[in-house]
Amino acid sequence: MNTHSNKQVDVRKLGLIAYQEAWDEQERLFATTVNQKLLNRTRSADEQQPTPNYLLFCEHPPVYTLGTSGHAENLLIDEARLATEFGATFFKIRRGGDITFHGPGQLVGYPILDLDNFFTDIHRYMRLLEECIILTLLNYGLTAGRIDGSTGVWLNVDGNSGPARKICAMGVKASRWVTMHGFALNVNTDLSYFNHIVPCGITDKGVTSLAVELGYEVPLEDVAALVQRHLFELFDMELIET
C-alpha cells in the first residue's frame, strides 16, 4: 500500500464515443498515473504525490475488439465486410480475453485505478468487478453469477433453463498495478451483432441483455448510477466532486 494511498476516484461520463477516442483517453490517463508512480520512486516520502484514479463510463458505435489471448477465427465474417455491411470497426487490443462486441445501448466501464491505492490482487479485482455487476442486476430482480474459468457475469449459471447467457463481458490490462479496459454490460444492446462472432471464444453459451431479460428498455444512466454505487462500496472509494 502506498504511503500516500488515494481512494478518491474521478468519474467521467463520456457518452457515445468512438472506440479509438476512448482508448486514447484511457492511454493518456493510464500514462499519467504510471508516470506519477515512477516519479514517486525518485522522491522522498514527504515529496511523493498520490496517484489518481478514474472511472470512465461510455457507449461505443458498433465495434469488435480482440484481446491478446484471443483467436482471430472467432470473428466469423471477413473483416472488410464489417464496415460496409454492418457499420462496425475492428480492433486488436492489449487486454485479457477473446473477442467481444461493443455498441449503442451497452454500458461500458473503464476503471483506471492504481491498485496500490486499494489492494494489489488482480484476481480479487476481477471478482469485485463481477460482484458489482451481479449486485446491479439484483436491483432489477435478476439473479446472476459466475462460471468457473469464464470471466464475466452470466444468467442461468446452473443451466436449468437452457444454456447460460452472458450479460457482461470483462477484459482488463494491468501494468505496475494500474488497470485499463474493464467491463461491458449489455443493457439495450442490439444482440444481432453477436451473431458474427464466437463471443469470448465460447461456443456453448448464449448472450443476453437487461432489456431482453426484463422485456423493456432501461435508461443507461440509471444502470450506470447503480454500477457506480456498488463499485464505490465494494472498493471503499470516495467520489471526487466536480
200 tagged catalytic: yes
What is the residue-wise DSSP string for 149-184? TEEEEEE-TT-TTSS-EEEEEEEEEEETTEEEEEEE
Residue 73 is given by DSSP the state G
Torsion over CA: 80, 86, 89, 94 (sign):
negative
Residue 88 is given by DSSP the state -
d(CA 228, CA 224): 6
Q: Which of 58, 132, 168, 200 is catalytic?
A: 200
Pick the closest to residue 156 from 141, 168, 146 (CA basis).
146
Give, to the nearest 10 degrees, the angle between helix 122-139 and helix 220-235: 140
| Phi, psi of 59, rounded to the nearest 5 degrees | -135, 155
Catalytic residues: 200
